[in-house]
Amino acid sequence: MAYRPGSGLSKAFHHTWELCSPKPMAERVDMSGRKVIVTGGTPGSIGYQVARTLAAWGADVAVTCPRDSATARETLLRELRDAGQRPNGIEGHRLDLADPRSVADFAAWYRETSGGRLDVLINNAGILRDVLWRWRERRVSADGFEIHWRTNYLGTFHLTRLLLPMLLDSGRRSGDARVINVSSHQHDKGSNDRLFASPDRLDSWTAYGQSKLALIHHAFALQRRYGEDGNLRTAALHPGSAYSNMTFGWQDEPRWLRRTKRLFTPLAPLILLTPAQAAQTTIHCATDPHLEGGHYHERCAKAEPIPDARDEAASRRLWEETDRWFRSLGQQ
């Protein structure tokens, strides 16, 4: 069911339908010999479930976390072995998308660790802060950007640009390299007009939506620029509304909210997808041999983003402005 994001009523209807209808599952694909990066793979997250499935299907997986990547790696290995599976290769490394040095360090580490090979980049990592609108002033990164924009979009663009030569090289050899951007249906809170304006007055939800709209533009721009010559396929997607470490791990939350969430956690599966269920569309986009690049996906199928996401002029301008910022870092 493809739908166009819009009013709160339409979202409520879609969410109810999503929960009550059968949950789509990605079809198993042999991923042996494929090298994959999954950002944002902390245990309890959607990204963790993506990494676990792809490793179980035979891929060599590198998973990132903003802090304890070693625990994520060890947990993946233990769970797969307990399930009777023998993963080919799982690596973990720290990655803070808001820190340009961390991004550059990770790219250099991966290049050395993998022998310069990368088949699939899954840009899953992201943040959502101040869900209760309690901040009186916007939060910015160390280099002065609104924190959602800096982490979710600029950091993802930066990482992808550094890894792009490896992806294109793999695509030329195999005919199938991929970049998968995990967006959100909340991208409908964004607009192209605000992509190029000051974010000073944006609340955190709108800033989050702006960053997710930008990720769709990013995926589509990559497809237009490199899809044919580099055998690269891209996709953006909404994973579904899930209870995960993002849902139940909000920062700066009051004590009463933490207690309330603990009380309602047992009921979460009744109203939200599990991380494993929410991982399916990402897995589908990363593995489906018939995937057509340059589209937005939900529930393991094409869907329609808001019209602003299909504006090629805005997409081109956003790419050019972001690429100038990337070049200013001197990390090409």
Token readout for 63 is 């998973």
pLDDT at residue 183, as a whole number: 98
Kindly name the residue from 48, 110, 153, 208 that is annotated as catalytic. Answer: 208
Domain boundaries, the chain: 26-327
pTM for the model: 0.90
What are the pLDDT digits (tens) for 102-115? 999 999 999 999 99
As a whole number, mean pLDDT of residues 318-322 equals 98
Q: How far apart are CA 105 and CA 110, in angstroms?
A: 9
Q: Which one has a higher pLDDT value, 110 or 70?
A: 110
Q: At 184, list the tokens.
A: 């959100």
CA torsion sign for 200, 202, 207, 210 is: negative
Whether residue 243 lies in the annotated active site: no
Tell me what the mean pLDDT of segment 322-332 comes to. 92
What local confidence, expressed as pLDDT, does residue 266 receive? 59
Residue 55 has pLDDT above 60, yes or no: yes
Answer whether 216's CB lies under 8 Å from 195's CB.
no
Average pLDDT over all residues of the chain:
88
Query: Dihedral through CA 202, CA 264, CA 21, CA 298, nearest 10?
Result: 30
- Residue 277: pLDDT over 90: yes
In tens, the pLDDT along 188-240 reads: 999 999 998 876 667 888 999 999 999 999 999 999 999 987 699 999 999 98
245 close to 268: Cβ distance less than 8 angstroms? no
Q: Which residue has the higher pLDDT, 11 or 210?
A: 210
CATH number attached to the domain at 26-327: 3.40.50.720
* For residue 327, pLDDT beyond 80: yes
Higher pLDDT, 256 or 179: 179
Residue 76 tokens, joined: 């993946």
